[in-house]
Structure 1
Amino acid sequence: MGLIFRWLLRLAAGLVFLVVAAIALVYYLASQSLPEYNQTLQVDGVTAPVEIVRDNNNVPHIFAASDPDVFFGLGYVHAQDRLWQMTMLRRTVQGRLSEVFGQRTVSIDRLMRRLDLYRLAQQSVGAQDSYTAAALRAYAAGVNTRLTEINDKALGRGAPEMFIFNAPVAPWQPADSIAILKLMGLQLSGHLEEEVLRARTSLMLNDQARLLDILPDAPGPGVAALPEYASMFPGLPRYATQRKEADNPLSPLPKRGLAGASNAWAAAPSRSASGGTLLANDPHLGFSTPSSWYLARMELAKGGVIGGSIPGMPTVLLGRSERLGWGLTSSYMDDQDLFIEKLNPDNPEEYLTPDGYKSFESRPSIIEIKDAAPITLTLRWTENGPVLPGTVYDLETITPPGHVVSIGWTVLDPQDRSMSAAMALLGSGSVDEAIRATEHYVGPSQNLTLADRETVAMKMVGAVPRRDAAHQSQGRLPSQGWRIENRWQGRMPYASNPEFLSPVGGLLGNTNNKLLERPFPNHISFVWGDTQRVTRWQRLMQSREVHTRDSFIEAQLDPVSPTARTLLPLIGADLWFTGEAAPEGTPERQRQIALALLAEWNGEMNEHLPEPLIYAAWVRALQKRLITDELGPLASEFKHVEPLFIERVFKDVDGASAWCDIQQSAPQEDCTEIARLALDDALVWIAERYGTALESLRWGDAHQATHDHPVLGEVPVLRYFVNIRQSTSGGDNTLQRGRTSGEDPDPFQNVHGAAYRGVYDFADPDSSVFVISTGQSGHFLSRYYDDQAQLWRRGEYIPMSLDSELARAAAVGITQLVPRP
Structure 2
Amino acid sequence: MLRKFIYGLCLVALLVIVGGYGYLHTKLPQRSGEIVLPGLKHKVQVLFDEWAVPHIEAQNEQDAFLALGYLHAQDRLFQLELMIRVAQGRLSEILGEDMLDADRYFRTLGISRFAETYAKDYFHKNPQNVKDALKAYLSGLNAFVSGGPAPIEFTLLGIPKREYTIKDLICTGVYMSYTFTNAVRQDPLLSYIHNTFGAGYLKDLAVYWPKDDTKIDVSSKSSGSELELAELSFEIANLLSQVPTFFGSNAWAVSGSRTKSGKVILANDPHIGYAAPSTWYEAHLKTPDWELYGHHIAGIPFALIGHNRRMAWGVTMLQNDDLDFYLERTNPDNPDQVWFRDDWEDLRIIEEAIPVRDREDYPLRIRISRHGPVINDVLEPVKESVKQPVALSWQMLSDFENSTEQVFYELGHSKTLADTHAAVSKLHAPGLNISYGDAEGNIAWWAAARLLIRPSHVNSFIFLDGASGKDEFTGYRDFSGNPQSVNPDSGIVFNANNQPGDMGTGLEPGYYAPETRARRLSQLLKQEKYDWTTSDMQQIQLDTKHPGIPRFRKYFLEVLNESSRRDKLFQSAAETFINWDGNHAKDAVGPTIYHRLFYHLSISIFADEIGEKGTMVLLSTSLADKSIPRILSSPESPWW
Specify which of 268, 285, 289 is matched with residue 281 of structure 1. 268
Change in Cα spacing, 1:405 to 1:613, as seen in structure 2 (3 Å) is same
Q: Which has the higher contact order (CA 8 A, sep 6+)?
A: 1
The residue type paired with residue 185 of structure 1 is: S
Q: Which residue of 2 aligns with 1:139?
A: 137
Question: Residue 443 of structure 1: CA displacement?
Answer: 1.7
Between the aligned partners of 1:612 and 1:406, the Cα distance in structure 2 is 41
Between the aligned partners of 2:443 and 2:363, the Cα distance in structure 1 is 52
Specify which of 76, 79, 85 is matched with residue 85 of structure 1. 79
Deviates more, 1:474-483 or 1:503-512: 474-483
RMSD: 2.9
Between the aligned partners of 1:611 and 1:236, the Cα distance in structure 2 is 38
Between the aligned partners of 1:254 and 1:291, the Cα distance in structure 2 is 11
SS at match of 1:76: helix
SS at match of 1:509: strand
* 1:99-143 deviation per Cα after TM superposition (whole angstroms, max 9, x unaligned): 211212222222222222223223332232211110111001111
CA contact (8 A) 1:127 1:417 kept: no
* 1:153-172 deviation per Cα after TM superposition (whole angstroms, max 9, x unaligned): xx3x1x12112111112112
- Pairwise mapping of residues 56-135 of structure 1 onto structure 2 (< 5 A)? 56-124=50-118, 125-135=123-133
The answer to whether structure 1 residue 430 and structure 2 residue 416 are counterparts is yes
Between the aligned partners of 1:250 and 1:21, the Cα distance in structure 2 is 39
* 1:300-335 deviation per Cα after TM superposition (whole angstroms, max 9, x unaligned): 464311121001111111011111110001101101
The answer to whether structure 1 residue 507 and structure 2 residue 488 are counterparts is no
Change in Cα spacing, 1:443 to 1:391, as seen in structure 2 (3 Å) is same
Deviates more, 1:382-391 or 1:630-639: 630-639
Specify which of 421, 428, 433 is matched with residue 442 of structure 1. 428
The answer to whether structure 1 residue 558 and structure 2 residue 570 are counterparts is no
Deviates more, 1:81-90 or 1:502-511: 81-90
Specify which of 627, 632, 640 is matched with residue 645 of structure 1. 627
Change in Cα spacing, 1:221 to 1:391, as seen in structure 2 (3 Å) is farther
The answer to whether structure 1 residue 251 and structure 2 residue 245 are counterparts is no
Q: Which residue of 2 aligns with 1:53?
A: 47
Deviates more, 1:294-303 or 1:189-198: 294-303
Q: Which residue of 2 aligns with 1:595?
A: 574
Q: Which residue of 1 aligns with 2:204?
A: 213
Between the aligned partners of 1:523 and 1:456, the Cα distance in structure 2 is 23
Q: Which residue of 1 aligns with 2:609?
A: 630
CA contact (8 A) 1:203 1:238 kept: no
CA contact (8 A) 1:190 1:254 kept: no
The residue type paired with residue 468 of structure 1 is: P
Question: Residue 343 of structure 1: CA displacement?
Answer: 1.6
- Pairwise mapping of residues 726-805 of structure 1 onto structure 2 (< 5 A)? none
Q: Which residue of 2 aligns with 1:148?
A: 146
The residue type paired with residue 332 of structure 1 is: Q
The answer to whether structure 1 residue 314 and structure 2 residue 301 are counterparts is yes
Change in Cα spacing, 1:388 to 1:643, as seen in structure 2 (3 Å) is closer
Aligned residues: 622
Q: Percent identity?
A: 24
- Pairwise mapping of residues 8-27 of structure 1 onto structure 2 (< 5 A)? 22-27=16-21
Specify which of 485, 489, 496 is matched with residue 470 of structure 2. 485
Between the aligned partners of 1:488 and 1:19, the Cα distance in structure 2 is 68
Between the aligned partners of 1:427 and 1:497, the Cα distance in structure 2 is 23
Q: Which residue of 2 aligns with 1:606?
A: 585
SS at match of 1:403: coil
Question: Residue 361 of structure 1: CA displacement?
Answer: 2.0
* 1:217-260 deviation per Cα after TM superposition (whole angstroms, max 9, x unaligned): 322289xxxxxxx2xx6x668987994685565538999xx764
Question: Residue 21 of structure 1: CA displacement?
Answer: 5.0
* 1:473-501 deviation per Cα after TM superposition (whole angstroms, max 9, x unaligned): x2110112112121233432222221111
Between the aligned partners of 2:387 and 2:413, the Cα distance in structure 1 is 52
Question: Residue 618 of structure 1: CA displacement?
Answer: 1.9
- Pairwise mapping of residues 233-632 of structure 1 onto structure 2 (< 5 A)? 243=231, 246=235, 251=240, 260-300=247-287, 302-391=289-378, 396=382, 401-412=386-397, 413-453=399-439, 454-471=441-458, 474-517=459-502, 523-546=507-530, 547-571=532-556, 573-580=557-564, 588-632=567-611
Gaps of 5+ in 1: 1-5, 223-229, 582-586, 661-821
Q: Which residue of 2 aligns with 1:171?
A: 163
CA contact (8 A) 1:563 1:643 kept: no
Between the aligned partners of 2:487 and 2:418, the Cα distance in structure 1 is 11
* 1:425-484 deviation per Cα after TM superposition (whole angstroms, max 9, x unaligned): 11111122111112222221101001112110011112222322233xx21101121121
The residue type paired with residue 133 of structure 2 is: A
Between the aligned partners of 2:117 and 2:229, the Cα distance in structure 1 is 40
CA contact (8 A) 2:429 2:450 kept: yes
CA contact (8 A) 1:263 1:511 kept: yes
Between the aligned partners of 1:237 and 1:290, the Cα distance in structure 2 is 38
The residue type paired with residue 134 of structure 2 is: L
The residue type paired with residue 410 of structure 1 is: Q
Question: Residue 414 of structure 1: CA displacement?
Answer: 3.0
SS at match of 2:179: helix
Change in Cα spacing, 1:334 to 1:302, as seen in structure 2 (3 Å) is farther
- Pairwise mapping of residues 670-681 of structure 1 onto structure 2 (< 5 A)? none
Change in Cα spacing, 1:112 to 1:18, as seen in structure 2 (3 Å) is farther
Question: Residue 395 of structure 1: CA displacement?
Answer: 9.9
Between the aligned partners of 1:361 and 1:355, the Cα distance in structure 2 is 19
* 1:65-94 deviation per Cα after TM superposition (whole angstroms, max 9, x unaligned): 111111101101111111111111222222
CA contact (8 A) 2:606 2:639 kept: yes
Question: Residue 210 of structure 1: CA displacement?
Answer: 2.7
Question: Residue 554 of structure 1: CA displacement?
Answer: 0.8
Change in Cα spacing, 1:236 to 1:181, as seen in structure 2 (3 Å) is closer
Gaps of 5+ in 2: 214-220
CA contact (8 A) 2:371 2:393 kept: yes
The residue type paired with residue 369 of structure 1 is: V
Q: Which residue of 2 aligns with 1:200?
A: 192
Change in Cα spacing, 1:508 to 1:598, as seen in structure 2 (3 Å) is same
Question: Residue 569 of structure 1: CA displacement?
Answer: 2.3
Between the aligned partners of 1:427 and 1:407, the Cα distance in structure 2 is 36
Change in Cα spacing, 1:114 to 1:627, as seen in structure 2 (3 Å) is closer
Between the aligned partners of 2:111 and 2:273, the Cα distance in structure 1 is 21
SS at match of 1:545: coil
Change in Cα spacing, 1:84 to 1:221, as seen in structure 2 (3 Å) is same
SS at match of 1:314: strand
Between the aligned partners of 1:199 and 1:24, the Cα distance in structure 2 is 60
Change in Cα spacing, 1:337 to 1:13, as seen in structure 2 (3 Å) is farther
CA contact (8 A) 1:350 1:360 kept: yes
* 1:668-723 deviation per Cα after TM superposition (whole angstroms, max 9, x unaligned): xxxxxxxxxxxxxxxxxxxxxxxxxxxxxxxxxxxxxxxxxxxxxxxxxxxxxxxx
Q: TM-score, normalised to structure 2's length?
A: 0.90
The residue type paired with residue 171 of structure 1 is: E
CA contact (8 A) 1:218 1:526 kept: no
Q: Which residue of 1 aligns with 2:217?
A: none
SS at match of 1:449: strand
CA contact (8 A) 2:514 2:626 kept: no
CA contact (8 A) 1:338 1:407 kept: yes
